[in-house]
Chain A
């Protein structure tokens, strides 16, 4: 099975900061990577698919990049609504794996 490792597990930042979250795959997954945002008590929300494609309605301050085994999710200017937990997810051969999550906290 492909393992997904996210870092950091927790990130403290202020409104207006640029933040970057990294996700590493244990083997190449081409660009089969998605990013989700989850707030407490809510279902996850898709932000980005195919490593860099922004889902409709997601603010442009979110961006994704990478291919192969290393990927990043960036938020260009952190907003109050962005404090949440973020997960990466890979897909290969009818099997999916989520990363362990990155909690973005208020500094």
Chain B
């Protein structure tokens, strides 16, 4: 069974750093793109970025390019989303998902990130 398990909820202050994780299991982790999707409070889904674990090739949405960094440690089948300086506007639920061709077929449970002074 394909599973993506994300790290737990985070509460941070503006300007702090953060790295959240997404661990894959039940499939060949290196052979599928992993994507990150943001959902701000009460809003819709927004694609942020994807990464190919085998070679760490990355693609970012223009709306988040330079604001976040995605990475992967294929030795432990884990993808990461990180911020170097959080803003209140980063408050959202973040999902990772496995991409199969042109769609996401399996999703993590989500990581709530709250940024507040």
Contact = CB atoms under 8 A, between A and B. Distances in A.
Contacts of A55: 105
Grouping DSSP codes into helix (H, G, I), strand (E, B) and loop, the A interface class, with mixed when no group exceeds half, is: strand
B110 A43 contact: yes
A32 B102 contact: yes
Grouping DSSP codes into helix (H, G, I), strand (E, B) and loop, the B interface class, with mixed when no group exceeds half, is: strand
A73 B113 CA distance: 32
Interface residues of B, number: 22
A34 B103 contact: yes
A44 B95 contact: yes
Contact of B107 (A43, A85, A97): A43
A60 interface: no
A91 B103 contact: yes
Interface string B91-109: 0000101001111110111
B53 interface: no
A36 B104 CA distance: 9
B62 interface: yes
A46 B105 contact: yes
A101 B61 contact: no
Given A94-B50, A94-B59, A95-B61, A46 B103 contact: yes
B105 A43 contact: no
Contact of A101 (B35, B44, B103): B44
A22 interface: no
19 contacts: A1-B62, A34-B103, A34-B104, A43-B110, A44-B104, A46-B103, A49-B105, A50-B102, A85-B44, A87-B45, A89-B45, A89-B47, A91-B101, A91-B102, A91-B103, A95-B47, A95-B59, A100-B44, A101-B44
Interface of B: 35, 37, 44-47, 50, 59, 61-62, 95, 97, 100-105, 107-110
